[in-house]
C-alpha cells in the first residue's frame, strides 16, 4: 500500500483520531502464563483474579542515594572498582565487585547481591546503610601502616591517593560520607576506608529492575505448577514467588519452571493431546 493510502493515514487526514486496535481476550483450553512483569511499558499486567499473590517487588535493582549536587555533577557513570559491600546490621558475607555510581544512586552486581537485606532494612526503617570497603584486600592495620607515611605538604586527597591508591570517585565518596570532614588520624581514616557509609533511601522502580521478588506462592500451585484454584492454567518464570541473583540463575529458573509447566500441561491434556 502506497504512502498515505493506509486507512490510518486517511483517517488522520480527515481529522479523525487513529482507531485503537481492539483487544480480544485470550481464549484457550489450557494456558501457561509467564508474563510476570509490569515493566517495559508493555501494557497492563496479565490480570490474575483467581488468587492473591505476594506483591511483586523489584529485585536485582539499583539503590537510591541522595547524592549532593557536587557529587551528581561529577561522578555518575563512574565505577567504584574492586569494592566490597555490606548492609549494616546484616552479617552475611561482603559482596565484591565493581559498583556503578549513577545520578540517583548506585547499582551493579555487588549492589544487587545485597537486595534482600537492603529491602528488609528499608521495610523496617525506611533507610539502610550500605558500607563500602574501598580496599577489601588490605586489613585496617595494613591501611593504617601505609597512612602513617604522610608528607608535610600532602593534602588529605594527595595523602590518600599516594598511600592507598584511591581514585577520585572513591575519595569523593569519602568526602560525601563525612560531609567534607575527613579524619586526619591514620587509624580513623583506615576505618573509614574499610566502611564508607552510604545512606540508601529506596530502590529503583520495578520497571528498572532486572527481576522481581514476590508473585504466586508455591502453595497456590501443584507440583506441575498448575494453579490449584484454576485447573488447566499453569504458571512459570517470575510469575512464581522466587528470587535469585543474576548470572544465569534467573534465566535457568525461568526455563526450568517453563519446562515443568509445559510437561504438566501435556500430562493434564492426556495422551490424545
Ligand X SMILES: Cc1cc2nc3c(=O)[nH]c(=O)nc-3n(C[C@H](O)[C@H](O)[C@H](O)COP(=O)(O)OP(=O)(O)OC[C@H]3O[C@@H](n4cnc5c(N)ncnc54)[C@H](O)[C@@H]3O)c2cc1C
Binding residues (CB under 6 A) for ligand X: these are 34-37, 42-46, 210-211, 237-238, 246-251, 254
d(CA 192, CA 156): 13
- Start-end of H helices in the chain: 7-13, 69-74, 109-112, 115-125, 140-147, 156-164, 168-178, 186-194, 249-269
CB of residue 255 to ligand X, shortest distance in Å: 8
Q: State the residue number with the nearest CB to ligand X.
A: 237
Output 113 or 134, the one with its CB closest to ligand X: 113
Question: CB-based burial of residue 248 (10 Å sphere; 0-12 exposed, 13-18 middle, 19+ buried)?
Answer: exposed
Q: How far is the CB of 235 from ligand X (least distance, A)?
A: 9
Whose cell is 490474575? That residue is 48
| Cβ distance to ligand X smaller for residue 34 or 72 | 34
Distance between terminal CA atoms of the chain?
Answer: 41
Nearer to ligand X, 54 or 127 (CB): 54
CB of 238 vs ligand X, minimal distance in Å: 4
d(CA 235, CA 216): 8
Q: Which is nearer to ligand X, 189 or 233 (CB)?
A: 233
In the complex, the smallest distance separating the C-beta of residue 259 from ligand X, rounded to whole angstroms, is: 12
Amino acid at each position: 500500500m502506497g504512502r498515505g493510502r493506509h486507512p490510518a493515514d486517511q483517517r488522520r487526514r480527515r481529522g479523525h483520531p487513529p482507531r485503537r486496535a481492539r483487544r480480544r481476550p485470550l481464549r484457550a483450553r489450557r494456558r501457561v502464563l509467564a508474563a510476570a512483569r509490569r515493566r517495559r511499558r508493555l501494557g497492563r499486567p496479565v490480570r490474575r483474579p483467581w488468587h492473591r499473590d505476594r506483591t511483586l517487588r523489584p529485585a536485582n535493582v539499583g539503590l537510591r542515594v541522595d547524592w549532593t549536587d557536587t557529587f551528581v555533577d561529577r561522578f555518575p557513570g563512574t565505577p567504584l572498582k574492586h569494592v566490597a559491600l555490606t548492609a549494616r546490621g546484616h552479617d552475611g558475607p561482603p559482596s565484591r565487585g565493581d559498583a556503578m555510581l549513577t545520578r540517583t544512586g548506585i547499582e551493579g552486581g555487588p549492589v544487587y547481591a545485597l537486595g534482600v537485606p537492603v529491602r528488609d532494612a528499608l521495610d523496617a526503617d525506611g533507610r539502610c546503610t550500605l558500607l563500602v570497603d574501598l580496599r577489601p584486600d588490605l586489613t585496617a592495620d595494613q591501611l593504617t601502616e601505609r597512612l602513617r607515611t604522610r608528607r608535610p605538604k600532602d593534602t588529605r586527597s594527595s595523602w590518600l591517593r599516594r598511600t592507598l591508591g584511591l581514585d577520585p570517585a572513591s575519595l569523593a565518596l569519602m568526602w560525601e560520607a563525612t560531609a567534607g570532614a575527613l579524619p586526619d588520624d591514620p587509624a580513623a581514616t583506615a576505618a573509614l576506608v574499610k566502611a564508607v557509609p552510604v545512606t540508601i533511601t529506596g530502590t529503583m522502580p520495578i520497571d528498572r529492575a532486572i527481576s522481581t521478588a514476590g508473585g504466586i506462592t508455591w502453595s497456590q500451585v501443584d507440583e506441575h505448577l498448575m494453579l490449584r484454584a484454576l485447573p488447566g492454567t499453569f504458571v512459570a518464570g517470575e510469575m512464581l514467588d522466587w528470587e535469585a541473583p543474576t548470572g544465569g540463575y534467573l534465566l535457568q529458573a525461568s526455563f526450568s519452571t517453563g519446562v515443568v509447566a509445559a510437561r504438566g500441561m501435556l500430562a493434564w491434556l492426556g495422551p490424545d493431546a
